[in-house]
Chains A and B, each alone.
Chain A
Amino acid sequence: MNVYYTVQRTLMVVPTIMGITMITFFLLKALPGDPAYGLAGERADAEVIARFSQEFGNNASVAAQYVGYLKLLVRGEFGHSYYTNRRVAEDLAEKLPRTFQLACAALCVAAGCGIGIGVVMAVFRGRLIDRCCLMLTATFIAMPVFWLGLLLMYVFCFVLKLLPPAGSDGGRLMFLVLPASTLGVHAAASLARITRASMIDVLAQPYITTARAKGLPAAGVILRHALKNALIPVITMIGLDFGSFLNGAVLTETIFGWDGIGRYAVEGVFRRDYPVVLGCVLIGAVLFVVVNLVVDLTYALCDPRIRHSKKM
């Protein structure tokens, strides 16, 4: 693995994260009133507000206020919820693992269904089953996540009465099925299309013909020779989907009452609890950046062409 590329790509994260904090800072400034009140809330203890205002430096320049904001963030101080007066950082640390659990489950759904369907589509290219699947994936991509979640809930909870409609109950598997499927279906549909395209490219390669000509069984050729090589773009896409699950989690967790950061953010939105919303946005963006970094590094590890070419 090229050390130069790794270091360069990792260092690029620093300005991005600085920029993210700058944007959340301006959002904080856009709130009416003093940014210290924006983080602590007007009903917070006088001592807390004093601490925040001291950090921001009353009447200081915007740049000095930004530095104060950064100092607060470095100490893990995202402010206090207006509503519960709990520290946002603590709440986030508590809720993050639940969202992670949900995202991992969704990823399993997406990768399993997506790659499976994609391979079937590529093998039966142009036939009825391929066309049906193409139409089906296009339809799933066009469905809003929250609506799909409500439909699944209606069918599986109220009509068939198979699964519980909401809650997490200490992470029992039954409760995970619906939210994970809802979150994963979009990604599964787009993964299926990418797998199909990538498999079609690979299946046209001469080494596949060679493998077939040697008389290897068809399933072996498809799975061992073709799929293994077709997976590289798919893996990148899986990583990017994992990051975008943060978007979907906001809606999915709200519908299914899953107690993760998505629902936490939405509760913050409903109550106009600005420190909570800004904290979630900040953490969400930082996670997104880190996931993208991991994806890029993994990709370079898998594909030697990337790590040697200069980034545009």
Chain B
Amino acid sequence: MRTFNKVRALLLCKILGTGIILVLLCAAAAPLLAPYDPVAVDLDCVKQPPSTRHLMGTDTLGRDILSRVLYAGRTSLAIGLSATVVSLGIGLCIGLISGYCGGALDAALSMTIDLFLAFPSLLLAIAVAVVLPPGIGATVFALCIAGWASFARLFRGVALSLKEEQFIDAARAVGCSSMRIIAVHVLPNCISIALVAASLKIGSFIFAEAALSFLGLGIQPPTPAWGSMISLYRGFLPSAPWMVIFPGCAIAGTVLLFNIFGEVLRDMIDNRMQW
């Protein structure tokens, strides 16, 4: 039964992984796949419902929704992924140092981590994004400020438990410095957990990006992003719901893929960790 479950989880992982790669490819190859120019105005076919010519319909300026969703995927996914990678990096560094070194450094770093966790994350991201001039860099920065602390707390715990392992004692006995132990002995043992944590968290970063651009704080028009498309079209909800439905489906589908992928990975590795 156990083997059967393992095989099934592995298969599920492969299917979900393929799905994620497909989504990323679709976004990356948007110029090739998109049937129309995402910013080209065509006033002859305004607000058309989905049809064979425009699979997801057109918006108030006659722009093709499908092309816009594909192009928006580029910005939204690029921001979501880079924010995850940067926050993961910061979280790994601070969490491992805090957990491994202990003492006063740990007290100070833990307090910083707790402080950032004390903010409702979206409010913090909004506050940072409001102060900065809008753009891709500013959005990623705001998301990282709001998101790094949960990674740091996780890896602090991981470092605390790894510290008790014998191979760390052995490394210390042969005279390795703390930094070397963290980089060479602790870090490699965090990779699988880092992968799981990242895939579980990407969804919330994509959400936060969508929320920021929904509020007009992320990517500025005419560059499409999923959240800003929903906010742009929400006034036409009664007469042209497809303009709102499809970008939202793109967000929900992507986040669902990443979430389930992360959960399956987590169950394969270990289910007793505190996430």
Contact = CB atoms under 8 A, between A and B. Distances in A.
Interface of A: 15-16, 19-20, 23-24, 27, 30-31, 138-139, 141-147, 150-151, 153-154, 158, 243-244, 246-247, 250-251, 254-255, 265-266, 269-270, 272, 274, 277-278, 280-281, 284-285, 288-289, 292, 312
A255 B123 contact: no
16 contacts: A20-B119, A23-B124, A24-B127, A138-B260, A142-B255, A144-B252, A146-B210, A146-B211, A146-B227, A150-B237, A244-B120, A246-B123, A250-B123, A250-B126, A251-B215, A288-B118
Contacts of B46: none
A59 B237 CA distance: 52
B143 to A, nearest CB: 13
A251 to B, nearest CB: 6
B122 A247 contact: yes
A272 B206 CA distance: 24
Contacts of B248: 143-144, 147, 150-151
Interface of B is mostly: helix
B256 A250 contact: no
A150 B118 CA distance: 29
B131 interface: yes
A281 B119 contact: yes
Nearest to B126: A269
B241 interface: yes
A143 B247 CA distance: 11
Contacts of A142: 203, 251-253, 255-256, 259
A141 B118 CA distance: 22
A35 to B, nearest CB: 12
B214 A281 contact: no
B28 interface: no
Given A142-B203, A144-B211, A281-B127, A158 B237 contact: yes
Given A150-B244, A151-B248, A154-B237, A144 B227 contact: yes
A150 B119 contact: no
Contacts of A151: 244-245, 248
Contacts of B237: 150, 153-154, 158
Given A15-B111, A151-B248, A284-B123, A266 B259 contact: no
Contact of A243 (B120, B227, B260): B120
Contacts of A250: 122-123, 126, 211, 215
Interface residues of B, number: 44
Given A142-B252, A150-B237, A158-B238, A27 B128 contact: yes
Contacts of B244: 147, 150-151, 154
Contacts of A251: 122, 211, 214-215
A269 B132 CA distance: 12
B81 interface: no
A204 B231 CA distance: 47
A34 B115 CA distance: 26
B217 A281 contact: no
Contact of A19 (B111, B126, B207, B216): B111
B219 to A, nearest CB: 15
Nearest to B216: A270
A281 B259 contact: no
Contacts of B245: 151
Contact of A143 (B120, B216, B252, B260): B252
B267 to A, nearest CB: 12
Contacts of B119: 20, 23, 281, 284-285, 288
A292 B244 CA distance: 35
A125 B203 CA distance: 27
B114 interface: yes
A280 B123 contact: yes
A139 B256 contact: yes
B238 A265 contact: no
B79 to A, nearest CB: 15
Given A31-B131, A266-B215, 13 more contacts: A16-B115, A20-B119, A143-B251, A144-B227, A150-B237, A154-B238, A251-B214, A255-B234, A270-B215, A272-B130, A280-B123, A281-B124, A285-B118
A42 B256 CA distance: 46
Contact of B241 (A146, A154, A255, A284): A154
Contacts of A153: 237
B230 interface: yes
A269 B130 contact: yes
Interface in B122-162: 122-124, 126-128, 130-132, 160
Contacts of B114: 16
Contacts of B112: 19
A274 B130 contact: yes
B60 interface: no
A54 to B, nearest CB: 24
